[in-house]
Amino acid sequence: MVLVAAGVLAAWQPQAPTTPRNRFEAAAALFERECAACHGSDSSGGRAVSLFDQAWLDSTDDDAIVTAIENGVPDTEMAPYRDLLEAPDVWALVQFIRTRAGSFVEAPAYVARADGEVVDSERHTFRVDTVVGGLETPWALVFLPDGRMLVTERRGTLRIVANNELSEPVTGTPEVWERQDAGMHDVEIHPEYADNGWIYLAYSEVAPGHTPSASEATPGSPPGREPPSPPNMQVFIRGRIDDDNRWVDQELIYRASLDLYTSSDTHYGTRLVFDDANHLFFAIGERGVMEHAQDLSSPLGKIHRVNDDGSIPDDNPFVGEGAAVPSIWSYGHRNPEGLAWHPETGALWESEHGPRGGDEINLIEPGHNYGWGVISSGIQRGITEAARDGMESPIVYYTPTLAPAGIAFYTGNPFSEWTNSLLVGSLWGQELRRLEIVGREVTHQEVLFAQFGRVRDVVVGPDGYVYVARQDPTGGSTGVSLTASTPGSVIRLVPVED
């Protein structure tokens, strides 16, 4: 009930206006100064109920909390503060409450050896099997028609898994720039792979023809006080693997213009997915410059659609519109990490990293603007709106952050109670989450597990089991840099019969 917010800001007096840079910090200070005496600073509360009670937060939504702050709560001490707080500051206070509440939720202890662990979820009990270990930050998975699996490692390698055994890296793949978020990313196969053998790769490369300066980092530079990176960008190619485990017949699908290459090592986005008509969809992040996302003359911060050879379909939404990049399918994206088709509706769904909170699950439609650079459900300097007419708000968003990664809709028989659920992997949350969807609405969410490390990708195998690319934890109290490469494995979820 919103009534538990009674007393919030009851003693607040107007302060100097805050800027987007310090809005979140100002919200934290405001809460401690004016709210904590009544509601307490932790989940136990004070003389009034705690606003960090996760059960209450799960039972309400942000709009209701905003309304309580702006309009007050009748028959309580909670007066309206619409005229005393700017809307972005109210939003920052709500996001602070959710973020702080998340810090009081004890995460499950990390289980380093997941093999054989049994999990009781809402709909199915399942066992975790290790398919293959010995990987280093596995980033993406895809099955070949013969049941073998392709796995990318962020450090720049492509491997084959067959009969629970890991091949040596495929030779002859392109040189990859790896640092922080950069590296070898997604892999996908052509829908007609059995006939043509095409495999599609996305990876980050140093600008072709670039001559390194003495001060630049080089591949394999150790973490720490690193020199600046060379200009780099995501590139999309296709090729084949021959009988000698060699990458051959490489062709370019998409490369951005060289003037967009940047020394930033963040926000590459990068997922690949085909539709039923052999169109390839791929995502590129805005590379840390949010203005790119709204600029139709830039490919950054966009989801693109091309033919399987990289040519442009005539019916793309911005074909022939001035300087607009003709491959753009949707825009206003920050850092897309997952793409998946709903098996019944045919709708394209996407996962996306937000700024400070505000991670998103979106339903992608051609030509639509998803708002990054102008609106956000998180907190970002320079953005003061959470919604605007003409821009798509997320179907659901997450504060505190989950850092959602690969996604997949479940189809198959072994987990029949999960049919059409969206499975969402997460990096910061270290979760595999299941979302039930009706039309455009997420009606229920369940965390399937959160104790086996960072989940990079999730796919449904031809056997109907769920396969997950995971890596050992980073950041937080681990003592390992958040973006460090760590050992990983592919695990499989197998239902356990009653």
**Rounded to an integer, what distance in angstroms lies between the CA atom of residue 367 and that of residue 330?**
5
Q: Pull the structure tokens for residue 216.
A: 């630049």
Let me know: does 59 contact 65? Beta carbons within 8 Å. no
Quote the tokens at residue 34.
Answer: 């004016």
- CA angle (190 as vertex; 252, 370 as ends), nearest 5: 75
Catalytic residue among 267, 333, 353, 368: 267
| Alpha carbon distance 281, 326 (integer Å) | 13
Torsion of CA 478, 108, 400, 294, to 10 degrees: 70
What span, in angstroms and rounded, lies between the C-alpha atoms of 23 and 25? 6
Map residue 301 onto helix, strand or coil: coil
Q: Residue 206's beta-bridge partner residues? A: 232
Torsion, Cα of 307, 311, 315, 316 (10° steps): 90
For 254, the 3-state DSSP assignment is strand
Contact (CB, 8 A) for 468 and 432:
yes
3-class DSSP state for residue 189? strand
Task: Say if strands 157-162 and 432-438 run parallel, antiparallel, or are unpaired.
Answer: unpaired
Nearest alpha carbon to residue 271 among 375, 201, 168: 201
Sign of CA pseudo-dihedral 61, 62, 67, 68? positive
Residues 296, 319: Cα–Cα separation, whole Å: 11
Length of the chain: 498
Active site (annotated) includes residue 304: no
DSSP assigned state of 417: G
Distances (CA, A) of 187 to 40, 146, 373: 49, 17, 29
The HSE-up count of residue 161 (CA atoms within 13 Å, CB side) is 24
Token readout for 158 is 């492509």
Residue 181 vs residues 21, 155, 186, 241: alpha-carbon distances, Å:
24, 10, 13, 26
Q: Is 102 helix (H, G, I), strand (E, B) or coil?
A: helix
Q: Which residue has the tokens 């998803």?
A: 370
Residues taking part in catalysis = 267
